[in-house]
Structure 1
């Protein structure tokens, strides 16, 4: 399959912070530990090896075996879980919300980037083992962000009222979603495989966490993917000392806020600001912030409250009820996993870059941060249309009006560029200015005003000519806009809008192996795949 790459910066879809990070701009060095180059993993391995307790490995493996009790995992996944007991085994992690039927395409890209990095690391450092991990965000509570996926330009939505952490949501009502999904994708071998996958995941499991585990396991089990649910009593027991520091010392706020301000001082947008306490409290249908007022702790929007000694007692007896927010979740992850690298999107890496000093204060190794692979996939028909329209890959990433104007100028049999006329006009006015300099200032101003007026008139005529040519070439423009709309739904990246269903209908079971073959997590460029 032909492929091409373009720099992330040239796509105009990534922030200056992420582009500067990829360019290893010196000003950003204080915000990360080691840049994700293959040779830098040597020191990262050593640091994590020296700082990660063996007893944490034992608890982790026991918890994973329990979590996988009702999941038929591959031999490779089973061996990966077992290998985590060894001090020479490390993880590479990506995390994602429990989006319905995986949500946007980049769910696949995150996990495949993770899988492929573990392969690269094993080749470079054969004395160690590396396990790809998908961290399920089971404790998130924003249901509106995850209860739908896009299919053929429509939203397939799960309408349900619920509260609390999404992982424990029951799957009631997804039978109706299945009916809509089935009718939309039609019939055929690939369609039937997708229907079976949806049905087994969501209609045969009682909650969203188990459904998502089944789905991710089915898609990636042959690659040894290990799926972690952080909403686990024994895993959270390991995190008690860090939660205690958060409650009594506001550790995240104290260490993250100054770092965020430094990032802002460098001219970057701060992704997330820490709260004074970065914890939620979990209950039945409940996930609400813990706040401190004077000497007491409260669960926001409830009647629940504690003194300091009472909340610390609650933490000791029920650690599973304390849920880290976006600022603390990375620390929780790194405390319970022998992790080397976190792979995420631009928004995720932006808030990780605020956390280095916090990790240092907590004496936890800060992982390497790697931008996940980004991909634009062109079907055979789309690739043929692109060739016929004579559009380059990089031009496809232009804003639509820029793309159309550039194309119309190129194919028009009329020269739409009035630069020669502007040059000629300015030369004529130079003569007028020489004359004006021999008279008074009022005449000079009159000449200047006339020049401005005529140059403006030329610009207006140029725009009208371009508009006229666009009308004349409307068929070509229509085909071009239709193509770009297919590749960039809602004028955004394909991977942020489309669900994998559409590509699976095209490629079937070969979709994921194809992506595994072509995605290079350390390449640091935007990938374009053409059938």
Structure 2
């Protein structure tokens, strides 16, 4: 694939906070540990090496082996799991929900970013080992966010009445989803591979966690990806002391609230991604996942009749840690407690809430990971690339909002000048003389002069707009072609990676899709990529 780069700031799709982070603005430096540059990993390795308990390694490896016991483990993944027992091995983690058939395209970009970064780290620090890890968000309970994917402009959806954590959802009903999807796929060799992949993942496994593990393993197991499920009793035992500080001392609530206040002082434009709760844990049992709330010294499980005294809840946490599920604030800490992790790779929204967490990690003595914005890309087919060339479009212009995009292009191709800036400048010069005259004669006329200037400028604006509209009508066919192209590249006026499922690209590229993406995506480039194939 040919690769072009666009600064994230110029795409218009990334927040002020993330753009400032990528530019390493000085005011943001207290909110993260080290910026993700290859040379900065040396210090991060030393910190994690000193701070990660050696006793956690055998527990982690044993849990992973148990989670993989009913799956075919690739040679590369088996090697990495074994290496995690050694104190010179570290991880690079990305996480994602259990979206149906991977959901949006950026699922692939996240994991490829993690795999590629471990390769670069091994080249730079050969004395260490680096393992790419995909954290499955099996304990999430927002089914509506994950029960569909888009394919050729249509929503392929799994309709089901559910409650509780999604990882244990039974896969019944997905045979009907498969039939709908298979009908749309067609009968090419690549279509057959996609059908087999869907069938083997979702119709041959009984729950969503197992189906997702199989799918991710099929796509990335050859590259050594290690898939971890945090819904694990042995791993959660390691979380108990930290959960106690959250539930009974409200440590993250206080520290994260303070950080949010400090972030708001840096810029009022920074949108706060998540707010902490006094208690950042759910109770997980028999198909329910409900918040734990404290009322008058007792601890209630929201929307249930379950109530614990403080001592009863401490006993429950000690005896059944698997019943305590961290929320979006506590989950990052859980990840860093159980993994020898150096770096978390996520999207803009994820990094925004990670930037709220550093003081909380510091308070609990857990090393804060480096934060890397995952690769983002726009993939152009050969046909789309030819259209762009034929229409003489600049790639950067495609990222403009549609009205600005059309207006700019109409001005570019019009055989008359639809820009009244010279006339406006001439008008301002004329009124400058009138202001001077009013100053020297009667200052009370300044307001009247100003009103007349505004009126005449508005008149020029109106004429400019009418002329532009006339040119749009005259060049209607061209407008239709460029808007159709932009709509195909930015479905629903959103980034392609947030809308398309990987299956659309797989139909064109087949088994070459992932190798091509891995070759083209550089996790440390810090720019938005445009890929042409």
- Measured against the shorter chain, the TM-score band is over 0.9
Could you say which residue in structure 1 is the equivalent of 2:509? 507
1:314 aligns with 2:311: no
Could you say which residue in structure 2 is the equivalent of 1:382? 384
> In 2, Cα distance between the equivalents of 1:34 and 1:425?
53
1:466 aligns with 2:468: yes
Structure 1's 433 and 81: CA in aligned 2 closer, same or farther, altered over 3 A? closer
Could you say which residue in structure 1 is the equivalent of 2:345? 343
Superposition deviation, residue 423 in structure 1: 3.1
Question: 1:248-397 residue pairs with structure 2 within 5 A?
Answer: 248-267=248-267, 268-397=270-399
Could you say which residue in structure 1 is the equivalent of 2:201? 201
| Range 111-120 or range 182-191, more displaced | 182-191
Superposition deviation, residue 55 in structure 1: 1.5
| Range 276-285 or range 250-259, more displaced | 250-259
Structure 1's 277 and 437: CA in aligned 2 closer, same or farther, altered over 3 A? closer
Could you say which residue in structure 2 is the equivalent of 1:107? 107
1:8 aligns with 2:12: no
Could you say which residue in structure 2 is the equivalent of 1:517? 519
Could you say which residue in structure 2 is the equivalent of 1:74? 74
Superposition deviation, residue 357 in structure 1: 1.0
Question: 1:471-486 residue pairs with structure 2 within 5 A?
Answer: 471-486=473-488
Superposition deviation, residue 265 in structure 1: 1.4
Superposition deviation, residue 517 in structure 1: 0.5
Superposition deviation, residue 444 in structure 1: 5.2
- Mind listing any 5+ residue stretches in structure 2 that lack a counterpart? none
Residue deviations 1:68-88 (CA, integer Å, cap 9, x gap):
011112100011101101111
Superposition deviation, residue 422 in structure 1: 2.3
Instruction: Indicate the RMSD between aligned Cα atoms, in angstroms.
Output: 1.3
TM-score for the superposition, normalised by structure 2 = 0.98
3-state SS of the aligned residue for 2:101?
helix
Superposition deviation, residue 360 in structure 1: 1.1
Superposition deviation, residue 389 in structure 1: 1.0
> In 2, Cα distance between the equivalents of 1:138 and 1:181?
24
Superposition deviation, residue 49 in structure 1: 1.0
Q: Number of residue pairs matched?
A: 531
> In 2, Cα distance between the equivalents of 1:506 and 1:3?
18
Question: 1:382-461 residue pairs with structure 2 within 5 A?
Answer: 382-430=384-432, 432-433=434-435, 436=438, 440=442, 445-461=447-463
> In 2, Cα distance between the equivalents of 1:320 and 1:427?
75
Superposition deviation, residue 421 in structure 1: 2.2
Residue deviations 1:392-450 (CA, integer Å, cap 9, x gap):
11111111111100000010011111122223334444555566557545655544433
Q: Check whether the contact 2:247–2:278 (CA below 8 A) recurs between aligned residues.
A: no
Question: 1:34-113 residue pairs with structure 2 within 5 A?
Answer: 34-113=34-113
Q: Which residue of the other structure, out of 479, 496, 499, is the alignment partner of 1:497?
A: 499
3-state SS of the aligned residue for 1:54?
coil
Structure 1's 427 and 247: CA in aligned 2 closer, same or farther, altered over 3 A? closer
> In 2, Cα distance between the equivalents of 1:336 and 1:361?
17
Question: 1:119-268 residue pairs with structure 2 within 5 A?
Answer: 119-267=119-267, 268=270
Could you say which residue in structure 1 is the equivalent of 2:118? 118
> In 2, Cα distance between the equivalents of 1:435 and 1:480?
50
Structure 1's 413 and 299: CA in aligned 2 closer, same or farther, altered over 3 A? same
Superposition deviation, residue 165 in structure 1: 0.3
Could you say which residue in structure 2 is the equivalent of 1:28? 28
Structure 1's 433 and 356: CA in aligned 2 closer, same or farther, altered over 3 A? closer
| Range 64-73 or range 242-251, more displaced | 242-251
> In 2, Cα distance between the equivalents of 1:443 and 1:118?
71
> In 1, Cα distance between the equivalents of 2:300 and 2:479?
60
